[in-house]
Structure 1
Amino acid sequence: MGVGSSSQNSSAMVAIKSQEDQGSAPDLKPKKKICCACPETKKLRDECIVEHGESACEKWIEAHRKCLRAEGFNV
């Protein structure tokens, strides 16, 4: 084997180790489009922002993000 093969082997080991580490968490793929997920929190967030401005609505913005994460989105 050549000089480059040992670095390729170590890279492959790192990739395998990373996959093993992720194996404990379930593979969560979004089942919906992000625009259709969490309509309740989206409505509350949007209404609050329109009426009070974004800075006053952090509670609803974070609630919507939490819901999206639960649906499998990385936000």
Structure 2
Amino acid sequence: MGGLPTQNPSSAITLSVSQKNEGLTMTASGSNSKPKKKICCACPDTKKLRDECVVEHGEAACSKWIDAHLKCLRSEGFNV
């Protein structure tokens, strides 16, 4: 109608999501392999321990559990 160029919103969303996910697909070895799980579902045991510790004692007192969870996520292929 107004002669303005239109952009397909779904392709813009797809591009921004794929750009964000690029950093998550790198493994510790540097190869481009996609993690098998979503980050929210990976390492449920260490996530639970980390979360319980932070709620009860605060983040500063839980570095042991936070580090354990990050190590587990890295072993699953996440770049965190």
TM-score band w.r.t. shorter chain: 0.5 to 0.7
Matched, 1:42 2:25: no
Q: Which runs of 5+ in 2 are unaligned?
A: 1-28
- The structure, 1 or 2, with the larger RCO (C-alpha pairs under 8 Å, 6+ apart) is 2
Q: Which portions of structure 1, spanning 4 or more consecutive aligned residues, are displaced by more than 6 angstroms?
A: none
Q: Normalising by structure 2, what TM-score?
A: 0.60
In structure 2, distance between residues paired with 1:25 and 1:35: 22
Q: Normalising by structure 1, what TM-score?
A: 0.64
In structure 2, distance between residues paired with 1:53 and 1:25: 33
Task: Pick from 44, 56, 59 the counterpart of residue 64 of structure 2.
Answer: 59
Q: Which runs of 5+ in 1 are unaligned?
A: 1-23
What does residue 14 of structure 1 align with? Answer: none
Give percent identity, aligned residues only: 79
Which amino acid in the other structure matches residue 72 of structure 2? C
2:35 aligned counterpart, secondary structure? coil
Q: How many residues align?
A: 52
Which structure has the bigger radius of gyration? Answer: 1
- CA RMSD across the alignment: 1.6
